[in-house]
Structure 1
Amino acid sequence: MGLDGLEGLQACFKDKIIPLLQEYFYDDHAKIHAVLNKNGMLKDKPMEGALQKLLGDFIDTDKKIYQITEASAWGIETFIRIYKDSSQAQSNETTKQTSNP
């Protein structure tokens, strides 16, 4: 893929991989979020105010809306989390919280 560091990896995911996942999953961002192991590349986008009232009759209000986060904020750990077992990631996070007072 011709990647030359973290910036290249960020751009590759932003411009190539995530759009391919969007196409593959027919823009079902919940599935994309699951495939990425909830690593932080997508975040919940709350639907509020007039938009919610306007679209409330036409969409499933239980379904979450996602937006892609800023690619420059994706660090190495973001990419590693794609492959980590979610229970292992939670265990590591708990360890970090208990070791840092």
Structure 2
Amino acid sequence: MTLLHPTPLLDIVSVMEPKPWRDRVHEEEELLAQLNHLISEAAARRAEALLDGVEELGSKAEVARDLGRSWQAVDQAIRRYERKRTFPSDTTTTE
């Protein structure tokens, strides 16, 4: 039979209070903001790759065929990217 040695700090069971809901909401909002930023960066890199494909293959339709996607999906991704490059979201307007 094995005797267990006492572990003074680990033997104390403390009851953890759950985080208040406002703190949990705030943490999740921060996480969503980070994820949205990562998604935006990934979409930009994807659009740049699609543009490289257009340069190589000659058209958006050829890129779409090569990837097995619709022409509209390729076109939309590139247009969104070009729109964001033209009008960055951090600029302020006078409206």
Compute the TM-score of the two structures, normalised by the length of structure 2: 0.35
Work out which of the two has the higher radius of gyration on C-alpha atoms and give 1 or 2.
2
Higher relative contact order (CA 8 A, sep 6+): 1
Would you tell me which structure has more helix in proportion to its own residues?
A: 2
